């Protein structure tokens, strides 16, 4: 069951400058940052609300590490902006299978490693009315 908005993914050209904008404008601080080579991103998670039990919500600022990555290609075409939304669930495997059964393309056969040790998968934006949609089970939940 999808129980929360886990994060909104925002693509940017310069992670440090974008982090500084969110800090100076809203007071949001970096909760966590990492590089995910498989996904081709350098990212910063800004915690917006919630607890440490896996139920929090974040902004995920994403800078591509290579031009041919998902975010690199998207930025070249669209410029900066909202790249994806992520719904949180305690059971990414079960929810992905159930959604696949409804005819929506799930991009991975098995969930992959996401931010902060989470397990993630994606739904094709063309099957979701133009929204790249991620499903995530946080490390605390699995
Ligand atoms: C592409 N399209 C999008 C889109 N990206 N539409 C809405 N939102 C997006 N973010 C559209 C694009 O405009 C095209 O439409 C069509 O889909 C095909 O796109 P493409 O440019 O030819 O690119 P593809 O097909 O090579 O790749 C698109 C997909 C790719 C969605 C398959 O981006 C992907 O695998 N994404 C999942 C992985 C990901 O995004 N990783 C980065 C975040 P037209 O022009 O044909 O109409 S990593 C992350 O979130 C982590 C680590 C985490 O949360 O922990
Ligand atoms: Co994400």
Which position among 34, 63, 84, 124 bears the catalytic label? 84
DSSP assigned state of 68: T
CB atoms within 10 A of CB 34: 13
Whether ligand 1 lies within 6 angstroms of the CB of 41 is answered as yes
CATH class of 2-141: alpha beta
Mutate to test the pocket of ligand 1, among 5, 42, 44, 84 (most ligand atoms within 8 A of CB): 84
Q: Where are the domains of the chain?
A: 2-141
Dist. CA 133 → ligand 1 center (Å): 9
CA distance readout (Å), 89 to 53, 74, 80, 105, 106 = 12, 26, 28, 18, 15
Q: Is the pTM of this model over 0.85?
A: yes
Write out the DSSP string of 84-96: EEEEEES-HHHHH
For residue range 26-73, list pLDDT tens digits in order. 999 999 999 999 999 999 999 999 887 778 999 999 999 999 999 999
Atom of ligand 1 nearest to the CA of 83: 10
Whether ligand 1 lies within 6 angstroms of the CB of 115 is answered as yes
Beta-carbon-side half-sphere exposure of residue 4 (alpha carbons within 13 Å): 19
Dist. CA 132 → ligand 2 center (Å): 10
pLDDT over 80 at 113, yes or no: yes
| Mean pLDDT of the 9-19 span | 98
Dist. CA 69 → ligand 1 center (Å): 9
């Amino acid at each position: 069951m999808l129980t929360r908005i886990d994060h909104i993914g925002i693509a940017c050209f310069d992670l440090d400058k974008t982090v500084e904008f969110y800090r100076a404008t809203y007071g949001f601080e970096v909760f966590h940052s990492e590089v995910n080579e498989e996904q081709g991103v350098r990212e910063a998670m800004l915690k917006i609300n919630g607890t440490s039990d896996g139920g929090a919500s974040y902004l995920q600022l994403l800078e591509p590490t290579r031009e041919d990555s998902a975010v690199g290609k998207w930025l070249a075409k669209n410029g900066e902006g909202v790249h994806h939304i992520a719904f949180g669930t305690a059971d990414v495997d079960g929810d992905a299978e159930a959604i696949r059964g409804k005819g929506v393309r799930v991009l991975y056969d098995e969930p992959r490693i996401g931010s902060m040790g989470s397990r993630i998968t994606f739904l094709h934006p063309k099957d979701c009315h133009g929204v790249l949609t991620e499903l995530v089970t946080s490390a605390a939940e699995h």
